[in-house]
Amino acid sequence: MTIRALHLRAELAEMPRLADWVAAQAPGLGLTERQLYAIQLCLEEVVANLVMHARPATARGISVTVRIEPAPLRVTVEDDALPFDLTVAAPAGPPPSLEAATPGGLGLGLVTAYTTAREYRAEAGRNRLVLHFG
């Protein structure tokens, strides 16, 4: 089994590099268009949230590692921010009206909708989120 990995700095400037890398992996992994879209969307949500909201556990900042494993199709995001278990957070519900809607806050719902399972573990100063795709 081939595992592909990418190391990122926790900066928004890294987001295009992440998207390009995932797209470049698609042919070698035999990803369908739907799988590619789901992986890119979920990674964008997870990594952008790390960049914008996570607090580093150490003074050196946050580093992010993304791995894709083909069978079963899993994507792993590891970081060295303070622990946050995405799998126990409740997705936000829809706003009661268009006027009450605000930008953001729907990413967890998207990740939940596009994955078949999610696992989280914090150990040895690293957070590990595994997203399963059907």
Find the CATH number of the domain harbouring 20: 3.30.565.10
pTM over 0.85? The answer is: yes
Q: Pairing between strand 126-132 and 4-9?
A: unpaired
Query: What's the whole-number average pLDDT of the chain?
Result: 88
pLDDT in tens, 60-97: 778 889 998 888 899 999 999 999 998 998 777 788 88
Write down the pLDDT at residue 51: 87
Tokens (6 digits) for 26 = 């698609």
Strand order across the beta sheet in which 4-9 lies: 4-9, 63-69, 74-79, 126-132, 117-123
What tokens were used for 22?
């995932």
Please give the Cα distance from 19 to 43 (Å, whole number). Answer: 8
| pLDDT beyond 60 at 1 | no
Q: Containing domain of residue 60, as a range?
A: 4-132
Least Cα distance to 28 among 60, 70, 59 occurs for 70
Number of domains comprising the chain: 1
Confidence of residue 103 (pLDDT cuts 50, 70, 90): confident
- DSSP letter for 81, please: B
β-pair partners for 67: 5, 76
Share of the chain above pLDDT 70, in %: 98
